[in-house]
Amino acid sequence: MTMGDAPNHHILSVLVENRSGVLARVASLFARRGYNIFSLAVAPSEDERFSRITIVADVDSSPLEQITKQLFKLIDVVKISELDPRTSVERELLLATVKAEPERRGQVVELVQIFEGKILAVGPDAITVSLDGNPDKLDDFEELMRGYGIVELQRTGRVALPKLDREARVRAVKGKAS
């Protein structure tokens, strides 16, 4: 499976109050409509009172509009922006343990270096690597590693912010809900 953006992938950046239960509220709005959250990342924002949730969801535009409006209605949601991948910076982190028998280790290491990844641990016939970057790059790397044999793999949800001086392209959804 590739992690690249299917046409109906949308990225929502949701600023929420940093308190218990908020993630459950946000997630259940997707769940009750039968939509899957593709990737999710949550962490405190620049203001410790708020956290930023980056959601990549597999939803058509029209139900997404309804979900966005419903998200707005949550008391703990302060701001929502839908980020256009073309005008946003997106990053993800990948950790993987890849089979690397001595005779193929050189090839794996070379690929890791090409992708500017880091080697975190080396075992007799496997290595653990980390790689960050935009999701497409991680997809490509993952695809290549598959040929050597992936023992374990974990990707974070993606985080995203609008690119600088392109504010106009951030579709900030207007009208805070009741």
Partner 1 sequence: MKITGAQALIKSLEMAGVEVMFGLPGGCILPAYDPLLDSSIRHILVRHEQGAGHMAEGYAHVTGKPGVAMVTSGPAATNLVTPLCDAYMDSVPMVAITGQVPTFAIGTDAFQECDTVGITRSVTKHNELVMSADDLPRIIKEAFHIATTGRPGPVLVDVPKDVLQNTMEWYWPDSVDLPGYRPNTKGHPRMIREAAKLILASERPVIYAGGGILKARAADALRELAELVNVNVVTTLMARGAFPDSHPLALGMPGMHGNYTAVTAMQKSDLLITLGARFDDRITGKVPTFAPEAKIIHVDIDPAEQGKVRRPDIPIVGDCKQVIEEIIREIRALLHAGETQADTSTWRSRLSGWREQYPLSYEPSAPGDALKPQYCLEVLRDSCPSDTILVSGVGQHQMWCSQYWHFDHPYTWVNSGGLGTMGFAVPAAIGAKVGRPDKLVWAIDGDGCFQMTAQELVTAAVERIPVKIGILNNAYLGMVRQWQEMFYEERYSEVYLSQDVPDFVKWAEAMGCVGIRVDSPEEVQPAIDKANEIDDRPVVVDFRTDSREKVFPMVPAGQSNDDIILPPAQQALRTRGA
Q: Of residues 16, 56, 112, 159, which one binds partner 1 by CB under 8 A?
A: 16
C-alpha–C-alpha distance, residues 141 and 49, integer Å: 37
C-alpha–C-alpha distance, residues 22 and 76, integer Å: 7
For position 8 contacting partner 1 by CB under 8 A, the verdict is: no
Q: Which two three-digit tokens encode residue 127?
A: 């290595």
C-alpha–C-alpha distance, residues 32 and 20, integer Å: 20
Q: Closer CB to partner 1, residue 49 or residue 118?
A: 49
DSSP helix/strand/coil, 89 = strand
Interacting stretch for partner 1, rule CB under 8 A, among 16-24, 87-95, 126-134, 148-156?
A: 16-24
List the x/- string, 25-54, binding to partner 1 by CB under 8 A. Answer: x--x---x----------------x-----
- For the segment 158-177, give every residue that binds partner 1 (CB under 8 A): 175-177
- C-alpha pair distances (Å), 118 with each of 47, 67, 145: 31, 39, 14
Give how many residues touch partner 1 by CB under 8 A: 24
- For the segment 78-117, give every residue that binds partner 1 (CB under 8 A): 78
C-alpha–C-alpha distance, residues 132 and 30, integer Å: 28
146, containing H or E segment? helix 135-146
Residues at the contact surface with partner 1, assessed by CB under 8 A: 16-17, 20-21, 24-25, 28, 32, 49, 65-66, 69-70, 72-78, 175-178
